Amino acid sequence: MSFTKLVPSLLLAALAVGVAAAPAKAQTNLGSGLVIDNVDLTGVNFDAATGKLTAAGGTVTGTLAGMPFSTNLTNFALQLVPPGPGAPDGCSVLDLALAPIDIDLLGLHVDTSAICLSITALPGEGLLGDLLCGLAGGVDAPAGVTALEAGLPDVLTQAIGGAAAEAEAAQADPGDICDGECEVLPLALGPIDLTLLGLNVHLDNCDEGPVQVCVSASRGQGLLGDLLCGLTGNGSILGNLGVLEDLVGTITDALGGRTLNPKQTKQLGNRLTGQLTDRLVDGVLSAADLDKVTKTITQALGL
């Protein structure tokens, strides 16, 4: 089988079996609101002697909690052949680093630390490890780059999301990664070291520490900032990134690209805060709650 078909299918199958199938241990995790849509590699180089494909850099785009982001990709390396004499045990399958993500929308901020992901196959420790370490030669790298870029978004989404689901998501001190004055959802994940069937997935902040995510808000910068600062001030919290994604999507859809003046923002923010405070006690918003948010905004805008 050619590299074009082999790499995406094997990595997706491996991750689907080894990572995504594991049950989530906590509701609040990075994977619950992370979707990677596209990976664009630059400076691609293939060493035929070692079967190793590297890239000087690239960009990764997707959504986090329903909000679009774009970040840089570094340290990209893909190797599907056994290491040479004297190399550490295991075959490197994927080794990359994502730069920190910084998203700002209507006074809402989503910030992360750097995210490093390493996938290694371990011979003699399971079916997947033996399979991936046994792949040597017959690699058509130039023809496979397009297929690799097409398959990587699903690989990264499953790897990061699946590994995050394996870790307890704890309330964390996110340090200086928070941009907003009101912390809504500070998280720390890992470091994660998951091995199944000879395939190891390691996830950290590129410095052997936990991946950190901080959702925060700022008053006076938009409707979401005023609303979320009001909710955190009343002791209400969002249960997970999935709930935040629903809330952000509902509000941005209802606004329809309209810009509110400061007075409208404050009045509507106060109204929604009063409406949602009691409903967020359990950290969950129902479809009926979100529908009421939409109606409140459309009524305030006179639509």
Answer yes or no: do 78 and 147 share one domain.
yes
Looking at 164, 189, 216, the residue that finishes a domain is: 216
Partners of residue 108 on adjacent β-strands: 105, 217
Answer yes or no: do 189 and 296 share one domain.
no
The structural domain count of the chain equals: 2
Answer yes or no: do 108 and 254 share one domain.
no
Answer yes or no: do 199 and 230 share one domain.
no
Partners of residue 75 on adjacent β-strands: none
**Cα(226)–Cα(217) distance, integer angstroms:** 7
**Cα(198)–Cα(238) distance, integer angstroms:** 37
Answer yes or no: do 230 and 174 share one domain.
no
Picking from 11, 9, 176, the residue whose alpha carbon sits closest to that of residue 78 is 11
In this structure, are residues 244 and 66 in contact, taking their beta carbons and an 8 Å threshold? Answer: yes
Answer yes or no: do 64 and 151 share one domain.
yes
Residue whose structure tokens are 């033996």:
130
Answer yes or no: do 117 and 258 share one domain.
no
**Cα(37)–Cα(27) distance, integer angstroms:** 23
Answer yes or no: do 260 and 179 share one domain.
no
Partners of residue 195 on adjacent β-strands: 200
Question: Does 172 or 298 have the greater pLDDT score?
Answer: 298
Looking at 197, 216, 235, the residue that finishes a domain is: 216
- pLDDT one-digit tens code per residue, 125-175: 777 777 767 654 444 545 455 656 666 677 677 767 665 655 555 555 556
**Residues 53-88 as b or e (16 or more Cβ within 10 Å = b):** bbbeebebebbbbbbebebebeebebbbbbeeeeee
18 falls in which pLDDT band (50, 70, 90)? very low
- pLDDT one-digit tens code per residue, 92-111: 778 888 899 899 999 999 89
Parent domain of 257? 219-300
Answer yes or no: do 114 and 254 share one domain.
no
Answer yes or no: do 111 and 32 share one domain.
yes
Helices (H), 95-240: 127-133, 141-165, 223-233
Answer yes or no: do 156 and 266 share one domain.
no
Looking at 166, 190, 216, the residue that finishes a domain is: 216
- pLDDT one-digit tens code per residue, 255-290: 988 888 889 899 999 999 888 887 877 778 889 989
Picking from 109, 65, 66, the residue whose alpha carbon sits closest to that of residue 240 is 65
Q: What percent of the chain has pLDDT over 70?
A: 70
Answer yes or no: do 288 and 187 share one domain.
no
**Pair of tokens at residue 259:** 């810009």
Angle CA(259)–CA(216)–CA(240) in degrees, nearest 5?
105
| Sheet order of strands, 115-121 included | 34-47, 52-64, 67-79, 91-98, 115-121, 199-204, 192-196
